[in-house]
Amino acid sequence: MSTIGATETKIRTYGNWRHPRLAGLGKLSFAQTMALLALLIVSILVYGSFGLARAAVLLVSGLSVLGAMEIRDAHGVSIWNRGVERASFARRRRARRTVYRSGPIGTIPGGRARLPGLLSGSRISEHVDSYDRPFALIHHGNTHVSVIMGVAPAGIALVDQERIDQQVAHWGAWLADLGSEIGIVQASVCVETVPDTGGSLERQVNARLDANAPAIALSVVRDAVSQYRAGAAQLRCTVTLTFDTKRMSVKKRSTDQVAREIGTRLPYLTHSLEAAGTGPAHLLTAADVTRLVRVAYDPASEPLFEEATAAGQEMDMDWEDAGPIGAHAFFDSFRHDSGLSRTWVLTKAPTGVVQSGVLSKLVSISRDVERKRVTLLLRPIDAAMTGDIVERDMTTAAAAAGMSKKVTARAAREVAIARKNAQEEASGAGLVDFTVLVTATVTGDDLDDTAAAVASLASASKLRMRPAYGAQDSAFALSLPLGVVPSWQKVWSI
């Protein structure tokens, strides 16, 4: 008798995301603890100089403010934060900074349709890398430049779990390598689902049709193409790298010199990325990026680009004309030409462990969302700093757990996660700060059904997300695959 043994595949899980913070008193953060101590000291001084009544008023007022900063909702947003959101947006609206008009009858000099807000100071140039491949270089302000790579991942259907785990490991190694690359300050991954006009499929099919084929066969093929056009969708993926030219060299260099150095590094970066399952990575040209931005702000223009491509015409659009003719930022949405969008921002990563396909529902094509853009902003931390960061985080977690006489399960878990992260960093893993943005766009005026669908998709992916209230126009620009760095981006006035 023979026995056939089955090998059970071990399913890998991922987790241990940390939001590093300095230890404070109880549940208070370090800054809130310092503010409380300062309030107590000032109250004592006021009591000694002006009496109990004034000291009590000051103490109660200060504690009320601290309470408003401490009481938070499910997204970690305090009452104070919500008040600041509304006050900031009201101030922008009074200053007429929520309305943008360009073009011949707009307020932009020269009648151009420049990009608004965070992208108003951007420009674009085109260069070639060491493989003689043309690529677009997007300039943000004075020091940041970005390169966009188009990828075509095959997905995980009919792929062995072992192969998927290898691709995830290669992706982690690629991100860790970015922390050792001089000058790279951010990477972003953008997965966009948009309605398919069917023009690309029709061109490919027509190019392969035989004029001498039977009429009935030609009719069947053309009918199939026509039926596919109705309700079809397509998925686009890009990976963007942002460089800080100040970190690349101590000397100020020209655009050509910066582009030459980046061009010598792109072959390795694109080749190593393919091991993560992205498929062949190609560099987007200036024309590709300009079209991408124009369609994002004006979805109704995409069929025009498709028709021009089908006719063999080149759309010669300048970067200065890629923006919207009109845009209006509302508290919870953003109107831009023919589109109405809402952007959500990640407020809490999954608390437990997840599998490799945790984001599959969020990034997949959904019949309930007309246009959807999921963007992961990844900021690799310098490899020279990661050791100090994880050690400090482990010390902080241990100190927070030691402040209480009875260590809670949550505090013990925080210590275990911090210790595990320190061990993995010592084994060669990198550290990456990240966030997720989701932008949904409709060509009508009703976002409610789409918003409900996005909330359901985010929940299925174990992400807690919140609309970017009061900053919808900025969040829309951040979700584009243009390499905008949130904390350093300069807003140019027009």
Please count the structural domains in the chain. Answer: 2
Among residues 230, 250, 277, which one ends one of the domains?
230
pTM for this entry? 0.87
Other C-beta atoms closer than 10 Å to the C-beta of 339 total: 23
Q: Please state which of the ranges 96-105, 281-290, 327-336 shows the lowest mean pLDDT.
A: 96-105
Q: Is residue 41 part of a domain?
A: no
Write the single-letter amino acid at 5: G
The predicted pLDDT at position 404 comes to 64
Inside any domain, residue 371:
yes
- The residue among 332, 296, 297, 311 whose CA lies nearest residue 194 is 296
Q: Cα angle at 458 between 452 and 464, to 5 degrees?
A: 105
Torsion of CA 70, 76, 80, 85, to 10 degrees: 170
Beta-bridge mates of residue 378? 187, 434
Question: Quick check: 415 pLDDT over 90?
Answer: no
Query: Is residue 406 very low, low, confident or very high in pLDDT (cuts 50, 70, 90)?
Result: low
Instruction: Assess contact for 189 and 375: CB atoms under 8 A.
Output: yes
Residue 323 included in any domain: yes
Q: Does 219 lie in the same domain as 141?
A: no
Question: Phi/psi at 37 (nearest 5 deg)?
Answer: -65, -40
Q: Please tell me the predicted confidence (pLDDT) of residue 283.
A: 96
Asked if residue 57 is part of any domain, the answer here is no
Residues 182, 145 share a domain? yes
Last residue of a domain, one of 230, 255, 272: 230
Per-residue model confidence as pLDDT tens digits over 357-398: 899 999 998 888 989 999 999 998 887 888 888 888 888 777
Helix (H, G, I), strand (E, B) or coil at 27: coil
Same domain, 370 and 471: yes
Residues 192 and 91 grouped into a single domain: yes
Helix (H) or strand (E) holding 188: strand 184-195
282 in Cβ contact with 149 (< 8 Å) = yes
What are the tokens at 485? 């760095």
Scan for tokens 């940041």, then name that residue. Answer: 144
Same-domain check for residues 134 and 178: yes
**291 burial type by CB count under 10 A (0-12 exposed, 13-18 middle, 19+ buried):** buried
Domain boundary among 230, 254, 281: 230
In a domain, 22, yes or no: no
Rounded mean pLDDT of 14-21? Answer: 78
Angle among Cα 197, 199, 201 to the nearest 5 degrees reads 110
For 233, residues 6+ apart whose C-beta sits below 8 A from its C-beta are 193, 194, 195, 196, 365
CA distances from 448 to 219, 369, 409, 452, 472 (A): 41, 11, 39, 6, 16
pLDDT surpassing 70 at residue 426: yes
Q: Are residues 147 and 214 in the same domain?
A: no
Residue 211 and residue 241 in one domain: no
Asked if 286 and 125 touch (Cβ cutoff 8 Å), the reply is yes
* Interval 112-157: pLDDT, tens: 889 998 998 899 999 999 999 999 999 997 789 999 999 998 877 7
For residue 403, the model assigns a pLDDT of: 66
Q: Regarding beta strands 339-348 and 371-380, do their DSSP bridges make them parallel or antiparallel, or are they unpaired?
A: unpaired
The CB density around residue 323, as the number of other CB atoms within 10 Å, is: 26
Classify residue 406: in a domain, yes or no.
no
Average pLDDT, the chain: 85
Q: Are 116 and 215 in a shared domain?
A: no
305 and 248 in a single domain? The answer is yes
Q: 3-class DSSP state for residue 408? A: coil
Helix H, strand E, coil C: the string for 342-389 is: EEEEEEECCCCCECCCCCHHHHCCCCCCCEEEEEEEEEECCHHHHHHH
Residue 110 has pLDDT above 80, yes or no: no
Sign of CA dihedral 468, 469, 471, 473: positive
Q: Which of 24-28, 401-405, 474-478 has the highest mean pLDDT?
A: 474-478
Q: Are 166 and 222 in the same domain?
A: no
Q: Do both 213 and 355 map to the same domain? A: no
127 secondary structure, DSSP code: E
Cα–Cα distance, 281 to 284 (Å, whole number): 10
Q: What is the pLDDT of residues 228-257, one digit of tens each?
A: 665 567 889 999 999 999 888 757 778 899
Predicted confidence at residue 186, as pLDDT, reads 94
Nearest-CA neighbor of 293 among 128, 114, 39?
Answer: 114
Residue 437 covered by a domain: yes
Give the domain extent around 83.
79-196+231-381+430-479
Q: Which residues pair with 186 in a beta bridge?
A: 242
pLDDT at 491: 40
Give me the mean pLDDT over the 307-328 stretch.
86
Domain co-membership, 434 together with 445: yes
**Residue whose pair of structure tokens reads 């084994």 in the numeric block:** 427
Local confidence band at 5 (pLDDT 50, 70, 90 cut-offs): very low
Distance between CA atoms of residues 462 and 465, nearest Å: 10
Tell me the per-residue pLDDT of 147-200, one tens digit each, with 9 for 90 and over: 999 999 887 777 888 888 899 999 988 998 898 888 999 999 999 998 877 666
Contacts of the segment 257-260: beta carbons below 8 A, 24+ positions apart: 258/137, 258/145, 259/125, 259/127, 259/137, 260/127
Give domain status of residue 332, yes or no.
yes
